[in-house]
Structure 1
Amino acid sequence: MSDVIWKLRDDHKKFARLMDLIAREVRVFDAGELPDYDLVSNILDYTQNYPDLYHHPVEDLVLAKLRLRDPDAAASVGGLDKEHEKLGALTRRFAAALHNVMQDAELPRDWFIDVAGDYLSFQRRHMQMEEVVFFPPALRALTDPDWQEIRDAITLPGDPLFGDGEGQAKYDRLHQEILKWGKPQDVTAFARP
């Protein structure tokens, strides 16, 4: 498997874990209890930054190569860039809703839960589509030189949540919560060096 796809899939595992944490806190909120708003806020801060700045641009590079090698497979992916835009909009909408709740704004509880559900559902469907429809044809169609060109085109800093990137201290509490919440399927996927 290409190390580029391996990294994208590893990111998806991590993002799925974050979605699980958000879903847990939304269930707490739905039960009328006090969720960990700061935890959810930190997750949303991370998902507004790392994926849009680093993860999605790599996917865009892979898709551009796939369009050259297998246009039919690339067409089946559809408007990946539009999905990324929608995901960004849903993330911002959920972050704004969370901010309003944290400021004690009078909002219908069901509305907030719906906004969170829209975000979580779309995020999960989007990652599933990439795993099933996008990555397999890319692995089949792209050549070693294609993968090398992609690697040469990306300059990714360390992941500030799961790696040793800049801003790591900002996400220390979130990282500890992820580790505390139970074992992920692949323990090494969530370990910091």
Structure 2
Amino acid sequence: MDAIDILVNEHRHIERVMDVLERAVEYGRGGGDVSPVLFERAAHFLRTYVDGSHDAKEDEVFQAIISRGLPSSEGMLAALSAQHAVGRELAAELGAAVRAVTDGVMAREELYALAERYVRLHRGHTEAEEVRFFPMVRRLLSVDVMERVRAKFARIEAAHGPLADAADALELAFPLPIPTTRRTGSVRPHPWIGR
């Protein structure tokens, strides 16, 4: 597994958290009571594992590409770096919004809108990386450079812990709603209610 394979694999784990957020927003907007704890834990995941670990690993790839002559201030690299910055801001805003909703000074809809913005940003960012950026990286970086980048990934992950484990924990704490059963016609309660 090379450095790009690791990043793509992490995208799949982050996507599971995006699915949890998306379903929670949908349920909340449908009149369900979604605990702000879900969004608080998601904000922590975004700050610690997406920004602190995953984006830090991607930044190592960016640096390797820049060292090969790709300009950092324009084009795809600049756009992806800017999206990292926006994601960092949105994650911080999401955490602040949780506190504001809990304190009763912000409507839940504003919290839902922030979560939705983050999900859209992440999905667009992931697509841009996987469709355009990562194939370019594989063409431009030699195997030995990719191995050095991968070694840096290990140090980053050691500082934060495995992203996959954090996604598992969040997904298990707030599993996706179980659809209506054909036999009974009823919906099991959403597991994040009242947490």
CA positional deviation for 1:9: 0.6
Aligned counterpart, 1:174: 170
Aligned counterpart, 1:162: 164
CA positional deviation for 1:49: 0.5
Percent of counterpart pairs with the same letter?
A: 24
Q: Deviations over 1:112-160 (max 9, x none)?
A: 3322222221122122211122111001111011112213334122735
Matches of 2:148 and 2:163 in 1, distance apart? 27
| Map 1:1-193 → 2, pairs under 5 A | 3-69=2-68, 71=70, 75-103=75-103, 105-154=104-153, 155=155, 156-157=157-158, 159-160=161-162, 162-163=164-165, 173-177=169-173, 181=176
Matches of 1:100 and 1:181 in 2, distance apart? 25
Q: Which consecutive residues of structure 1, in runs of 5 or more, have no partner in the other structure?
A: 183-193
Q: Deviations over 1:74-110 (max 9, x none)?
A: 833324332211111011111211222233x143444
Count of residue pairs brought into register by the alignment? 173
| Distance verdict in 2 for CA 1:63–1:161, change over 3 Å | closer
Retained in 1: the 8 A contact 2:20–2:171? no
Amino acid aligned to 1:176: L
| Distance verdict in 2 for CA 1:144–1:173, change over 3 Å | closer
Question: How large is the Cα RMSD of the aligned pairs?
Answer: 2.7
Matches of 2:147 and 2:115 in 1, distance apart? 38
Amino acid aligned to 1:75: G
Q: Which consecutive residues of structure 2, in runs of 5 or more, have no partner in the other structure?
A: 178-195
SS at match of 2:31: coil
SS at match of 1:26: helix
Matches of 2:109 and 2:136 in 1, distance apart? 40
Higher relative contact order (CA 8 A, sep 6+): 2
Amino acid aligned to 1:49: T
Instruction: Report the TM-score when normalising by structure 2.
Output: 0.75
Larger mean CA deviation between 109-118 and 129-138 belongs to 109-118
> Quick check: which has more Rg, 1 or 2?
2
Structure 1 outlier segments of 4+, above 6 Å: none
SS at match of 2:161: coil
Retained in 2: the 8 A contact 1:77–1:133? no
Matches of 2:100 and 2:71 in 1, distance apart? 44
